[in-house]
Amino acid sequence: MEAGGAGEVDHLAGERATAQFDVDHMKVAWAGSRHAVDVADRMARLVASDPVFRKDNRTMLPRKELFKDTLRKAAHAWKRIVELRLTEEEANLLRLYVDQPGYVDLHWGMFVPAIKGQGTEEQQKKWLPLAYKFQIIGCYAQTELGHGSNVQGLETTATFDPKTDEFVMHSPTLTSSKWWPGGLGKASTHAVVYARLITEGKDYGIHGFIVQLRSLEDHSPLPGVTLGDIGGKFGSGAYNSMDNGVLRFDHVRIPRDQMLMRLSQVTKEGKYVHSNVPKQLLYGTMVFVRQTIVADASKALSRATCIAVRYSAMRKQFGPQTGGPETQVLNYKTQQSRLFPLLASAYAFRFVGEWLKWLYTDVTHKLEAKDFSTLQEAHACTAGLKAVTTSATADGIEECRKLCGGHGYLNSSGLPELFATYVPACTYEGDNVVLLLQVARILMKTVSQLASGKQPVGTMAYMGNVQYLMQCKCGVNTAEDWLSPAAIREVFEARALRMAVNCAQNINRAPSQEEGLYELSPDLLEVAVAHIQLIIVTKFIEKVEQDIPGEGVKEQLRNLCNVYALYLVHKHLGDFLSTGCMTARQGALANQQLGKLYAQLRPNAVALVDAFNYTDHYLGSVLGRYDGNVYPALYDEAWKDPLNDSPVPDGYREHLRPLLKQQLKLSRL
Ligand SMILES: CC/C=C\C/C=C\C/C=C\C/C=C\C/C=C\C/C=C\CCC(=O)SCCNC(=O)CCNC(=O)[C@H](O)C(C)(C)COP(=O)(O)OP(=O)(O)OC[C@H]1O[C@@H](n2cnc3c(N)ncnc32)[C@H](O)[C@@H]1OP(=O)(O)O
Ligand SMILES: Cc1cc2nc3c(=O)[nH]c(=O)nc-3n(C[C@H](O)[C@H](O)[C@H](O)COP(=O)(O)OP(=O)(O)OC[C@H]3O[C@@H](n4cnc5c(N)ncnc54)[C@H](O)[C@@H]3O)c2cc1C
């Protein structure tokens, strides 16, 4: 927990004293409201003070024990939620702070939303109360051994039998085995299964079905259902707490009313009826989850940067040639230029995540009113932001590990497990490359419609300003000029649009559109990234333009926003130069300004990570401790490893002793 208890010494007090802003108000800006800070604080402390939620030994547990520990924590969390009558907001936060991936994530995160989004009112009335009370446990079974990205290529079949008014669920091939769904392997009693709907001899493509998998009496798989876990995954602890599973059906029958029928129906005579709605609504659960993944990216990256900033502030190496105390590694300019852009990115992802949540809610209201005009915008923003933020976060966590030197490689630093748990976010809920290509296709379509005078809307509205953006010249003359939000916005808009137009022109030169899209797909990825980075920068600028209370808070956020934008300019300078958006000199000025911003950020760095308001329990890192008292903690932690249970290791008698004795004999010869 935070420092302040009797006898505790705050080794980072000096760092905290140099902050030039009101940390308490920054906590509000980060969390979204005073209420959000208070609820999060209460839930984090509740979890941290409960011994069942202990996690410091997690990476040392064998898989079976880790899984059992996950079941115990999930059951205990549910018990506390019921006993304390927690609200949905409080319950979600409690689960977040328990911080152990498990079946509940998929139950609440995908099974329930799939039924809400794709079930009729009647189906919702039947299934949701069961799910809400945990009388059933559900998962989301879409991906198969043979196909994940290509959802239309799934092979599982649901064939309607009008004689019995049932669907027959079947896995016709090995590759049709469901493979990966979280919670499926050992915990779930039910699944929303995606399968090809076949009726009257015709294949109508992929639809969702609620299928019971296990007995509610003894949890054994139902007849015709084969179930299991798919095996150990990357890293110790980490995502191994999750029972990602395999599922096969051998002609399993389910009642007709277990097809999710909000978007399309099958009558009892076997007639297929499609409601007058876009078929992509079938993908609605994925859009919902991608939006939550963007919010999670800021949590994971802020955790990693919190650990790296606090540790870098206490760690000392070398010193001035003239003698005197050693230098805090955070004072090295190289450390700052690697770490501060990640800190700025954590804030940027937090605010774009907040905006994306608003967009998602807005689109959902429109869909309810049968207005489908913003569906494409929702798809492009959720897919693109999911891809860009998760890739940057995974890379950022790994960079934070390196920023902590050797100690960052220890499990007790928390960083290896955080990385191993986080990195599959680049793959699940849509491989990042596949998702960026979706965004790029939409951008190419938008460019092709510009000539006809169709005005792009939403986050693509800037493309309508094509005449100006294709020829504008960046007006920056001094390093300070880069502090202008208008200048930053313009170069990001010009870069994104010019890259998109260039790519569209190259595609048009190809023998066919399809061939062009195929040949130029590496360029298309960069086009999509440029567009998404523009969105993140724009939303950060808009955030900073709002009324933000608290002494110095707005100034710090403006600083972070400029760091984020100019770091991207520096990193992608090739894009900006090759599209003629700026000159090499202006690029050098941006880098010069970046150096000045790092110097301004330095005295505020520790306070900026304190504003995340993470408990030591949630951080799970001896290096990131609030009090900065790292060395005794590292030393104590080492002795907890089971390898240190005895001074002479198991295996000495069989493998070390004979070897040593043999060497002794040989040396005597
Ligand atoms: C120990 C603890 C320590 C630390 C913890 C720290 C951090 C942890 C952090 C986070 C963890 C927390 C939570 C995790 C939560 C969840 C993760 C768990 C599980 C993940 C679950 C899954 O993975 S579920 C499976 C997901 N699968 C996919 O995403 C598949 C990807 N593929 C697709 O989406 C599609 O098939 C496609 C889009 C790639 C292609 O589809 P299709 O072939 O049908 O389409 P076309 O390309 O032909 O396009 C046709 C038109 O449709 C439009 N379109 C496509 N998709 C959508 C959409 N979703 N919405 C709207 N429109 C869409 C497309 O644009 C085309 O439009 P046109 O106008 O051009 O016709
Ligand atoms: C930890 C974890 C949890 C998961 N949980 C669930 C779950 O709960 N439920 C569920 O249904 N699924 C789940 N999944 C599955 C996940 O959604 C898929 O793995 C993901 O969608 C990627 O699909 P894939 O595995 O088929 O990758 P592939 O598509 O086979 O990707 C392999 C490579 O091919 C490339 N590629 C593929 N298509 C293209 C293309 N068109 N153009 C260019 N390159 C391409 C990719 O970029 C990648 O480099 C989970 C996966 C993981 C890792």
The mean pLDDT of 658-666, rounded to a whole number, is 85
3-state secondary structure of 160: strand
Looking from the CA of residue 299, the nearest atom of ligand 1 is: 7
CA distance 555 to 503: 38
In the structure, what pLDDT confidence band is assigned to residue 4 with cuts at 50, 70 and 90? very low
User: How large is the C-alpha radius of gyration of the chain?
Assistant: 27
- Identify whether 429 is a catalytic site residue: yes
The mean pLDDT of 125-146, rounded to a whole number, is 98
In the structure, what pLDDT confidence band is assigned to residue 3 with cuts at 50, 70 and 90? very low
pLDDT, averaged across the chain: 96
Nearest to 561 by CA among 532, 586, 541, 575: 541
Instruction: State whether CATH 3.40.50.880 applies to domain 285-610.
Output: no
In the structure, what pLDDT confidence band is assigned to residue 2 with cuts at 50, 70 and 90? very low
Nearest to 26 by CA among 666, 613, 640: 613
Position 667 scores a pLDDT of: 79
CA distance 35 to 117: 29
CA distance 102 to 623: 26
Ligand nearest to the CA of 427: 2
Residue type, 104: V
Residue recorded with tokens 């709002």: 546
Is the confidence at residue 55, as pLDDT, over 60? Answer: yes
DSSP-derived secondary structure for 244-258: -EEEEESSEEEEGGG
Nearest to 612 by CA among 60, 40, 150, 203: 40
Residue 265 phi, psi (nearest 5)? -130, 160
Ligand nearest to the CA of 289: 1
The mean pLDDT of 375-393, rounded to a whole number, is 98
Say if residues 469 and 494 touch (Cβ distance below 8 Å): yes
Q: Could you tell me the end-to-end alpha-carbon distance of the chain, in angstroms, rounded to an integer?
A: 61
Say if residues 377 and 532 touch (Cβ distance below 8 Å): no
Cα(653) to centroid of ligand 2, in Å?
47
DSSP letter assigned to residue 107: I
The mean pLDDT of 176-186, rounded to a whole number, is 98
Position 324 scores a pLDDT of: 86
Nearest to 286 by CA among 213, 378, 392: 378
The mean pLDDT of 75-101, rounded to a whole number, is 98
For the segment(s) 139-276, the CATH number from 3.30.565.10, 3.40.50.2300, 3.40.50.970, 2.40.110.10 is 2.40.110.10
Q: How is residue 294 written in tokens?
A: 């963007």
Say if residues 568 and 537 touch (Cβ distance below 8 Å): yes
User: In the chain, where are the structural domains located?
Assistant: 139-276, 285-610
Residue recorded with tokens 């150990």: 232
Position 6 scores a pLDDT of: 47
Is the confidence at residue 666, as pLDDT, over 60? Answer: yes
Is the confidence at residue 664, as pLDDT, over 80? Answer: no
More confident residue, 257 or 3: 257
Cα(459) to centroid of ligand 2, in Å?
27
The predicted-structure confidence for 437-464, as pLDDT tens digits, reads as follows 999 999 999 999 998 989 999 999 999 9
The mean pLDDT of 33-55, rounded to a whole number, is 98
The predicted-structure confidence for 16-35, as pLDDT tens digits, reads as follows 999 999 999 999 999 999 99
In the structure, what pLDDT confidence band is assigned to residue 638 with cuts at 50, 70 and 90? very high
Cα(287) to centroid of ligand 1, in Å?
6
CA distance 346 to 357: 16
The predicted-structure confidence for 539-565, as pLDDT tens digits, reads as follows 999 999 999 999 999 999 999 999 999
**139-276 and 285-610 share one CATH topology?**
no
| Lining residues, ligand 1, CB within 6 Å | 99-101, 105, 109, 140, 142-143, 148-152, 182, 237-238, 280, 283, 286-287, 289, 296, 300, 375, 379, 417-418, 421-422, 425, 428-430, 434, 438, 442
DSSP letter assigned to residue 108: I
Say if residues 499 and 440 touch (Cβ distance below 8 Å): no
Interstrand relation of 190-199 and 138-141 (parallel, antiparallel or unpaired): parallel
The predicted-structure confidence for 473-508, as pLDDT tens digits, reads as follows 999 999 999 999 999 999 999 999 999 999 999 999
The predicted-structure confidence for 200-232, as pLDDT tens digits, reads as follows 999 999 999 999 999 999 999 999 999 999 999
The predicted-structure confidence for 338-355, as pLDDT tens digits, reads as follows 999 999 999 999 999 999
The predicted-structure confidence for 585-628, as pLDDT tens digits, reads as follows 999 999 999 999 999 999 999 999 999 999 999 999 999 999 99
Is the confidence at residue 662, as pLDDT, over 90? Answer: no
User: Active-site residue among 429, 514, 526, 545?
Assistant: 429
Position 5 scores a pLDDT of: 46
Position 7 scores a pLDDT of: 55
